């Protein structure tokens, strides 16, 4: 009976199985061992009501030229021998080289960094847009404030000037001149205030 020697690692250690969830690998240095191991695994699986799918089972020879090259079967079905096989996300090849795997990882890193750069670009653009909008809002507020301030300032200045002018004028009586200066001051104040409000309303509508 053929024993399960597995693959020797180091001086006194050998590995027979690599099991992870539903992805199991049988390691051996001969086809006879592989056949025996498959028969044993299939027998134990049937004991618990399970069956191994022969179409998903593959054989790959890595860096070995085995002299006993024979067809391996699983429950009477032939098991295909392939030149590359992906196990736990890693692509195994008959030469044992990892050039394709390295290229795949580099491409994955490249695409991830590209996505990150696009995300950062969009984020910065949004930040710049928000800063621009804030500056526009600030300029609008400043223009409104300055227009109101200048309107009030001009109103007070003109009203003071007219009041002094009509009071000091030599025509008509003092009370008439005083009333005219008050009316003109009130009228100009209302007019300039309404002009400032109209300017603010126009800015907000734009």
Mean per-residue pLDDT pooled into runs of 10, the chain (206 residues): 49 56 73 83 83 82 68 83 75 69 69 70 65 64 64 64 60 61 67 60 50
Q: Is the pTM of this model over 0.85?
A: no
Q: Hey, what are 106's tokens?
A: 């580099």
In this predicted structure, what is the pLDDT of residue 18?
57
In this predicted structure, what is the pLDDT of residue 1?
37
Q: Is 44 a member of any domain? A: yes
Q: State how far the Cα of 14 lies from the Cα of 1, in Å rounded to an integer.
A: 19
Q: Is 68 a member of any domain? A: yes
Q: Is 45 a member of any domain? A: yes
Residue 11 phi, psi (nearest 5): -90, -40
DSSP letters, 124-176, are HHHHHHHHHHHHHHHHHHHHHHHHHHHHHHHHHHHHHHHHHHHHH-SSS-HHH
In this predicted structure, what is the pLDDT of residue 199?
56
Q: State how far the Cα of 69 lies from the Cα of 59, in Å rounded to an integer.
A: 12
Q: State how far the Cα of 42 lies from the Cα of 52, in Å rounded to an integer.
A: 6
* Pairing label, strands 80-81, 58-59: parallel
Q: Is 137 a member of any domain? A: no
**DSSP bridge partners of 90:** 87
* Owning domain of residue 13: 7-96
**DSSP bridge partners of 8:** 14
Q: Is 194 a member of any domain? A: no
Q: Is 176 a member of any domain? A: no
Q: Is 174 a member of any domain? A: no
Instruction: Give how many domains the chain has, as a whole number.
Output: 1
In this predicted structure, what is the pLDDT of residue 70?
76
Q: State how far the Cα of 204 lies from the Cα of 116, in Å rounded to an integer.
A: 39
Q: Please name the residues in contact with 193: beta carbons below 8 A apart, sequence gap of 6 or more.
A: 151, 152, 155
Taking Cα atoms as reference points, which of 193, 95, 101, 197 lies closest to residue 152? 193
Q: Is 180 a member of any domain? A: no
In this predicted structure, what is the pLDDT of residue 2?
44
Q: State how far the Cα of 65 lies from the Cα of 56, in Å rounded to an integer.
A: 24
């Amino acid at each position: 009976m053929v024993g399960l020697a597995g693959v020797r690692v180091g001086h006194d250690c050998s590995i027979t199985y690599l099991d992870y969830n539903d992805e199991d690998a049988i390691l051996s240095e001969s086809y006879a061992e592989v056949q025996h191991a498959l028969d044993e695994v299939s027998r134990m699986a049937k004991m618990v009501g399970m069956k191994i799918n022969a179409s998903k089972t593959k054989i790959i020879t890595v860096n070995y030229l085995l002299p006993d090259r024979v067809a391996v079967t699983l429950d009477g079905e032939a098991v295909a021998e392939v030149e590359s096989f992906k196990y736990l996300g890693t692509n195994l090849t008959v030469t044992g080289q990892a050039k394709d795997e390295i290229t795949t990882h580099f491409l994955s890193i490249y695409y991830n960094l590209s996505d990150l750069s696009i995300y950062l670009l969009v984020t910065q653009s949004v930040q710049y847009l928000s800063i621009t909008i804030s500056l526009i809002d600030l300029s609008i507020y400043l223009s409104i404030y300055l227009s109101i301030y200048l309107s009030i300032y001009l109103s007070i200045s003109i009203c003071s000037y007219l009041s002094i002018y009509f009071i000091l004028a030599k025509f008509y009586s003092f009370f008439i001149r005083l009333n005219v200066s008050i009316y003109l001051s009130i009228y100009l104040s209302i007019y300039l205030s309404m002009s400032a409000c109209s300017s603010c309303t126009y800015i907000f509508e734009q």
